[in-house]
Structure 1
Amino acid sequence: MKKIVIIATMVLIIGACSTEQNDGPIDITPDELHASVDKVTEIMVHDIFSPPVASRIFAYPNIAAYEIVARYNDEYRSLVGQVRDLTPIPEADSTKAINYELAALVAHMEMNKRLIFSEDRMEALRDSLYGIYESKNPTLFKASKDYGLEVADHIGEWMNKDNYAQTRTMPKFTVDADDPTRWQPTPPAYMDGIEPHWNKIRPFVIDSAQQFKPAPPPEFSMEEGSDFYKELKEVYDVSQRITAEGDSSEELQIAQFWDCNPYVSVTRGHLMFATKKITPGAHWMGITKIAAKNTDSDFGRTLYAYTKASIAMADAFISCWDEKYRSNLIRPETLINQHIDDSWQPVLQTPPFPEYTSGHSVVSGAAAVALTDIFGDNFAFDDDTEVPFGLPIRSFDSFNQAADEAAISRMYGGIHYRVAIEVGVEQGRDLGEFVVDNLDMKVENDLADNR
């Protein structure tokens, strides 16, 4: 009889311990959010998404997660009424306990999964985290997960109306080979122009793709005294100098650091293959992560930073691509090979789309404005974003300094005229200021006001 009592007592004790172990809190840290962003970046490199498409992939998951946090955290304001056509997310079941940061993370990972090709790679991260959370509190985990998926469905319906699907069926860009001013496909792959209809994607904050239409490039002329020819010759002369200097050239190092071209084709004999790199938007997401970590930002502030930066960059790509296919300007590589040096090659491989304005310049300008608004000017940081790709850390005194370097890197790389860079940075900064001025996301002052 004693044995039965002892065994029964032990069962009760074990059962009680088991209940305690499975009824505790689930703590979500910014590291899990960083992991989700890092994973989708890794997958985009693997799947080879273009820079404009990558900006869309970053924006929607951040918005889905942010809307949950904004609904249940009084420090943040919803984007409803601020971002085009967004409607309020569903309310959570008030009868159930929900961890809203967990729900936000679930929505983030689910939206990521819907936007990429290699879903199994995102599922691997998701399932590993789910196992941890479920073991801590199955009931809380399920309610939080269900709500996160419900919000993902809501944001997914909104996302699917942004005209992206329609642009997949629109005609390819037609090259005008008889017009010497117009863009031509460039070696070695001679790819078609990517995303010629990106200006038809629904913007997030800007009024239209044309709102920040820049001044046109200089009038095309191959006469040696003309402004356009001087622009072309500068690209050639700078390239000749820095390649002669070799690895010791600071300009060469800058060009390589900011390459961020997912379309680099490599030829080996009869074989051609692609080397895989992050996009410019992914680089700035990496800088956002660095800033959040350096300031010990909590989950909400980290998500806020990712969301504001990704919205600014998504609209910047829409604005920039609108101009690219309007001006349809020929790349330096084509003209230098035709008129100056037929054996010349740029330091960086020329991306497959028209020249004006510089995408790096527009997007970096917009991102820098958004991050400065959050973290302040003169925010010094060490940028280790490119270390996984074999490039060293570079240090900056501010986001704007980094943006200026990202922009000029395109001339050092031999793929943009100076005017496309300088006008592009201005275009991006003007757009970034508009986004910042029209997004009222935070109730309290940003770190920028307290530095």
Structure 2
Amino acid sequence: MNDIDVLLEWNAIAQGQTIALRPTAHGQGRGIAMVQGAVYDAVNAIDRGHQPYLLDVDALDINPAASYDAAIATAAHHVLIDQVSASQVPVLNAAYAQTLLTVPDGEPKAEGVAAGEAAAAAMLAARANDGFLDPFTFTFGTEPGDWRPVTPTALDPDAWVGGLEPFLIESTSQFRSRGPNRLSSGIYAKDFNEVKEIGSLTSTTRTADQTQAAIFWQFPPTALWNRMFRDLSQAEQLDVVDGSRLFAAVNLAASDGLTACWDDKYYWNFWRPMAAIREADTDGNRKTTADPDWKPLFDPAAPTTPPLTTPPFPDHPSGHGCVSGAVLHTAKHFFGRDKMEFDVHSGRFPGQPRHFTRFSDALEEVVDARVWGGIHFRTADVQGGLIGKQTANWIHAHHFKPVK
């Protein structure tokens, strides 16, 4: 294996293992951020070329000849076994043992293991009481514009995300959005009528490709983006030092983007298009018309596996917009350009990736796709993308800097 192979292997292992942490994108985002943050610190403890995340690399004083492979595998393994179910630990132990077998015994191996152990311990200590799975009190409104779940007993299982201690940004409310449009405004009516028409289950204006795109993107961002960056790391021939920094930056940005997003969601507590369209006779806007029977494309009646539904949390801002905005703007900063050829793969359509030539094009499609799916107003998607961009810009300005 060359230097980056073990990095990519353990990123793929982490992606697979963190999917089981929580049946939504949010526990997964925190979990893989912890793994990749620790991996970055372990690699950087050897290279010392960039600002560390949690480690004091001078005090640790790892031999620069230490094994990167041993450091990566140890950091990833030790963080993961603290998070996964007991049944998965033997699988991870076997993978870890297999990686270490490829590293010759001696001081470089021992030093790499030491770097990984220190990075994992620092990460686990830092996240020990970070708000993961903390209780959350919902507020259900009854007035026009107020969010209330489609099914009162099916509530957001991950509302805790908005109170999660950020990895890198200063606070969960640091990038508060401008909020949803006033119900009486023309821009609200424009958003309303767009999603009512093109996001309907029975839309006659949504194209076949738009329908496929909407469904394609309804898949955990952790899986979408980490696979893409594994492919891109190889295409761009990144070395292990740059690769570890890329995976840390995009995954920590993704988690912080989600945290900022969920804080914003429950601050505004704005209704979803399905409630808005069915109850438009109460919104006071003469340019909107109610349809009590309206259903979005993301309705259980649609022929998709698994079934699609309106998510059980507020509309504004879009979670996918926040996380994808954070990831793709971080990638632009890392590579120093927007133009980049890449494919994105979704488990919704195995073997049918969507191809892009710019990071911004992928984000634009994510924004559109949430409208095409009938689950977001366009303003929620755009402002979600902006929260992601602000998160990425702040992280770029304050973290992962070269050591002078």
Is 1:191 matched up with 2:132? no
Deviation, 1:186, is 2.3
**TM-score for both structures, normalised by structure 2:** 0.84
CA distance in 1: counterparts of 2:331 and 2:135, whole angstroms? 35
Contact 1:190 1:352 in 2 (8 A): no
Q: Residues 278-427 of structure 1 correspond to what in structure 2 (within 5 A)?
A: 279-339=220-280, 340-348=290-298, 349-386=309-346, 389-390=349-350, 392-427=352-387
CA distance in 2: counterparts of 1:185 and 1:89, whole angstroms? 51
Q: Deviations over 1:153-188 (max 9, x none)?
A: 232111214233xxx342442423x3332212125x
CA distance in 1: counterparts of 2:2 and 2:384, whole angstroms? 39
Contact 1:243 1:252 in 2 (8 A): no
Is 1:130 matched up with 2:97? yes
CA distance in 2: counterparts of 1:320 and 1:415, whole angstroms? 16
CA distance in 2: counterparts of 1:101 and 1:442, whole angstroms? 22
Deviation, 1:148, is 2.3
Give the letter aligned to residue 99 of structure 1.
S
CA distance in 1: counterparts of 2:318 and 2:161, whole angstroms? 15
Bigger Rg, structure 1 or 2: 1
Q: Give 2:394's match in structure 1, choosing from 416, 434, 437.
A: 434
Q: Residues 12-23 of structure 1 correspond to what in structure 2 (within 5 A)?
A: none
* Aligned pairs, number: 384
Q: Which runs of 5+ in 2 are unaligned?
A: 281-289, 299-308
Q: Give 1:154's match in structure 2, choosing from 99, 114, 122.
A: 122
Quick check: 323-332 or 59-68, which moved more? 59-68
CA distance in 1: counterparts of 2:324 and 2:101, whole angstroms? 40
> Identity of counterpart residues, as a percentage?
22
Residues 149 and 306 of structure 1, relative CA distance in 2, 3 Å threshold: same
Secondary structure at 2:60 match in 1? coil
Q: Give 1:180's match in structure 2, choosing from 144, 152, 165.
A: 144
Secondary structure at 1:160 match in 2? coil
Contact 1:209 1:318 in 2 (8 A): yes
Secondary structure at 2:355 match in 1? strand
**TM-score for both structures, normalised by structure 1:** 0.76
CA distance in 2: counterparts of 1:242 and 1:399, whole angstroms? 31
Contact 1:372 1:399 in 2 (8 A): yes
Q: Residues 98-137 of structure 1 correspond to what in structure 2 (within 5 A)?
A: 98-117=66-85, 119-121=86-88, 123-131=90-98, 133-134=100-101, 137=104
1:257 matched to which residue of 2?
Answer: 216
Contact 1:281 1:363 in 2 (8 A): no
Q: Give 2:50's match in structure 1, choosing from 61, 72, 76.
A: 76
Is 1:205 matched up with 2:168? yes
Contact 1:92 1:147 in 2 (8 A): no
CA distance in 1: counterparts of 2:264 and 2:346, whole angstroms? 29
Contact 2:7 2:244 in 1 (8 A): yes
Q: Deviations over 1:409-438 (max 9, x none)?
A: 101110100111122222221221111111
CA distance in 2: counterparts of 1:89 and 1:53, whole angstroms? 32
Residues 47 and 161 of structure 1, relative CA distance in 2, 3 Å threshold: closer
Is 1:33 matched up with 2:7? yes
CA distance in 2: counterparts of 1:432 and 1:143, whole angstroms? 33
Q: Deviations over 1:377-431 (max 9, x none)?
A: 2433232421575361111111121111112210111010011112222222122
Q: Which runs of 5+ in 1 are unaligned?
A: 1-26, 81-85, 261-278, 445-451
Give the letter aligned to residue 192 of structure 1.
L
CA distance in 2: counterparts of 1:378 and 1:116, whole angstroms? 36
